[in-house]
Structure 1
């Protein structure tokens, strides 16, 4: 298949397969909404339709927790392979010389990777580096990209508030147009005080909340419980998300059940970030080394919305990563023990719920935010198939990748090293 031109409006996708393996044609209207899904037809392909026989068609993915201001800074930061405190130290050292131009360049590069992989919505946290000449440089850079790429993808900017930053500094960042308020209360000297400060600000501003929460293995660190209690007591109506929540994976079943009941009652969503937390957590532990993940299956069983993301890409917090949602799904299956449907939901529909986006996918009435992958089946996709992909946002092509692979093993035996 030759790659369709970027920006092409697509009227239909012919011969694709659903996640369940059914061969279908998917028709779209001019507004980028799916109007019909019907059994695949042998009728001629019309103008504006893409013939992708056998390709797997899925909702486009969501990255609910990125750090675009940090992306691709691993080499320049000269970070060691290490745990969360060493990653923070390395980043703080690099952030002293941060500029808006630097953030724009690396973040734009990361977004092209996300888009090519099938991600059409990203929420990125962004720091206010206290020692930088312009602490707001990262915020300004990401807000600029949000506007420049508005027709290409949905980008939400989440302020990652430090407990060392005064509230006036946070207010200045929010005044620039930040979408979501975040922070790391569990790293503060007084986690409850910091959590209360951030929720006071969010309540006053009427802004969504997405907090780094309990990103460590100590089962005694449960600011998620205080978060759930305050959200319920305040009657907050905006979306509130707890990201990481690693300590939940260290709780015994009885204590975990009590916490999850409060999380569910408060309406919190949880974002798990397997690649970064598998990298950072458990380095100091003697065997057996813990997984460094929240209790993902138990959260799902309790009825909590659980989305998943890649978190960091090649920065001090994670030196690897492909900015690929199907790298995340592979880890959800292997490390979190989810099944294929649960893993797919975590990087698609659940992510849209966390970001407050309308439903998308190959169903009647869904937004045509779609990714078609040349793969054998859904399992092949979720394992991280690296073949060809076509990505649509609102029915228009925003990314197309074609891959050709040739190996000696593909050739018939008489042509390899055999003389006539």
Structure 2
């Protein structure tokens, strides 16, 4: 059991030692230790080193004042530490590094405090337990308190920086997409963090949260062979992503994107590759057009390529004309009855695959069934089939999209 007044006596010894301690000597050791073990690549910058030293000095002075009983924890206001949090946020240094800097600083402070405590104990100014025990608790209380303040300051500054960067990027992209900027420059690429002088592939991602969009963007960039990516919120729930390539984007690259896109499980529409600023604008418009059509057909399949629906998009610029085209080409097969549905499905599979056997495999029916349905289609098509295969195929694709005639 602890004797009455023992805590007061040990605290008194610690406070007396703190009152005799030179905080600036301690701070120099702590800052040196932190610079060496956490930020060796930054300390060649005199402004960074000066800010680090000021932060260390303010923190150590505050700790010593708390230990000496001259300062209450809730009254601590280390301006140097807050200024250093601002600097690390502006430099984009991860907050985990900032927190690590504090714990390395704790190690340096405690080592120096223990060294001084041994000297004081040898002189009879108190036992080592009295000089170190209470100080350890108060030091940890200080660090827990100050790290909370500093990290909150870092997060606020970083959020403001990112918001400003996002606004700046949005404005620049608006100028590019609107045609006000016609030529890429190195400065423009640096501001966007994206190479404009290459080939671009735009994707319209249908996700609600930024974090989810960033994960999808990271996965697509890493697994598709892209050199970089550019992301922007287009509308609530829709994020535009551009993947950038140095050279041409061919079947190998698009296949890699298709695999990566499917693996993410996200819903998206993808434009066709385009080169330079004109290509960046064109693939963006294509992805948006495909996304609008994607939503119309219920976002199935989850990944829709512009190239798969280019014909439909072209013809849907005049929907009334497209519906009339379907009716003219398909005649009674444009209707909504079950036989017309089966016949159109079979005819589309046959014309798409070019083979009755492959159509049967796709539909899961016997080849004779396919043959019978094709014969029926040849009998009832308004303008025949043999000379108008391209038109019939286009009409079938539009019918699949628009549905049979009926209320809009």
Please indicate the TM-score interval, normalised by the length of the shorter structure.
under 0.3
Judging by fraction of residues, say which structure has more strand.
Answer: 1
Structure 1 length-normalised TM: 0.20
Judging by fraction of residues, say which structure has more helix.
Answer: 2
Work out which structure has the larger RCO, using CA pairs closer than 8 Å and 6 or more positions apart in sequence. 1
Bigger CA radius of gyration: 2
Structure 2 length-normalised TM: 0.20
